[in-house]
């Protein structure tokens, strides 16, 4: 894929950078010259990125605030930390629902709040990208908590856009379909599960991690200087139907 971005002298925080889409975004940003601050729970995986690291569980609000105090004002943020707990709608548990909402919605709002406050203080017209999901836009069986958390993240994105636009801060979300990280490739290897999902995607395939990471870099870049408040599906057309 040929897409070139230059983030030299840009400080960008990526949460959920230990694995999956977050890791790919961090790697793409590093390759584009950014000074990356990688936040996640796996210290060894973070160290392998070769950038600044913050080993913290985003569900621990006090630990998040403490970790962010040592980070200088940023030019960009990618909120990619997320979890899923699958339960049928007729049997949801308070514990699973609260855990998913805490990580996917509350923690993302908290991290962005602290980062944006420092941007405003430093007069930095930054860019924030929240990694949501196609699950915020459509109903997926057994994903009630996950769908609700990602819909909340899209709503959070719009409010942040409205409040912080006056300071030149842009806020957008991206909404990927199934993305073939190593863990997802294994989870979707069963044809009985994979084939119906693929049949619902007009392009007929799942996304590769770089196909999510590069649109995120676009939204972080000056090429997207008039784009804010958008929830961008990266789904091969899944949500067009």
Mean pLDDT of the chain: 97
Q: Is the pLDDT of residue 123 over 80?
A: yes
Output the domain CATH number for residue 62.
3.40.50.720
Catalytic residue among 37, 146, 164, 238: 146
Please indicate, yes or no, if residue 204 is contained in any of the structural domains: no
Q: Is 44 left (phi over 0), alpha (psi -120 to 50) or beta?
A: alpha
What is the predicted pLDDT for the residue at 3? 79
Please indicate, yes or no, if residue 234 is contained in any of the structural domains: no
What is the predicted pLDDT for the residue at 187? 85
Q: By percentage, how much of the chain surpasses pLDDT 90?
A: 95
What is the predicted pLDDT for the residue at 133? 97
pLDDT in tens, 156-188: 999 999 999 999 999 999 999 999 998 889 888
What is the predicted pLDDT for the residue at 183? 83
Please indicate, yes or no, if residue 95 is contained in any of the structural domains: yes
Residue 111 pLDDT level (bands cut at 50, 70, 90):
very high
Domain that holds residue 171: 11-179+209-226
Indicate if 238 belongs to the active site: no
Full-model pTM: 0.96
pLDDT in tens, 4-43: 899 999 999 999 999 999 999 999 999 999 999 999 999 9
Long-range contacts of 25-30 (CB under 8 A, 24+ apart): 25/78, 25/80, 25/212, 25/213, 25/216, 25/217, 26/51, 27/213, 28/210, 28/213, 28/214, 28/217, 29/217, 29/220
Domain count, the chain: 1
Catalytic residue among 85, 143, 150, 170: 150
Please indicate, yes or no, if residue 57 is contained in any of the structural domains: yes
Indicate if 146 belongs to the active site: yes
What is the predicted pLDDT for the residue at 241? 87
Please indicate, yes or no, if residue 84 is contained in any of the structural domains: yes
Place of tokens 């990618």: 78
Q: Is the pLDDT of residue 2 over 80?
A: no
Average pLDDT over residues 196-200: 95
Please indicate, yes or no, if residue 233 is contained in any of the structural domains: no
Please indicate, yes or no, if residue 165 is contained in any of the structural domains: yes
Please indicate, yes or no, if residue 69 is contained in any of the structural domains: yes
Residue 224 pLDDT level (bands cut at 50, 70, 90):
very high
pLDDT in tens, 34-89: 999 999 999 999 999 999 999 999 999 999 999 999 999 999 999 999 999 999 99
The values of phi and psi at residue 149, to 5°, are -70, -40
């Amino acid at each position: 894929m040929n897409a070139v971005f230059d983030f030299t002298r840009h400080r960008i925080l990526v949460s959920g950078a230990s694995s999956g889409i977050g890791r790919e975004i961090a790697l793409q940003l590093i390759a584009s010259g950014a000074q990356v601050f990688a936040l996640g729970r796996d210290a060894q995986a973070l160290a392998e990125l070769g950038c600044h690291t913050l080993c913290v569980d985003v569900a621990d609000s006090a630990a998040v605030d403490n970790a962010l105090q040592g980070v200088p004002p940023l030019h960009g943020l990618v909120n990619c930390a997320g979890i899923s707990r699958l339960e049928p709608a007729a049997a949801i548990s308070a514990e699973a629902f609260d855990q998913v909402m805490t990580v996917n919605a509350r923690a993302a709002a908290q991290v962005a709040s602290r980062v944006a406050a420092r941007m405003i203080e430093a007069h930095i017209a930054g860019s924030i990208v929240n990694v949501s999901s196609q699950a915020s836009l459509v109903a997926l069986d057994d994903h009630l908590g996950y769908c609700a958390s990602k819909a909340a993240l899209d709503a959070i994105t719009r409010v942040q856009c409205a409040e912080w636009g006056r300071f030149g801060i842009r806020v957008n979300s991206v909404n990927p379909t199934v993305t073939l990280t190593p863990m997802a490739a294994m989870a979707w290897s069963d044809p009985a599960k994979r084939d119906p999902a693929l049949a619902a995607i007009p392009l007929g395939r799942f996304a590769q991690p770089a196909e999510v990471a590069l649109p995120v870099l676009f939204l972080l870049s000056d090429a997207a200087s008039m784009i804010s408040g958008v929830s961008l599906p990266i789904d091969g057309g899944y949500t067009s139907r």
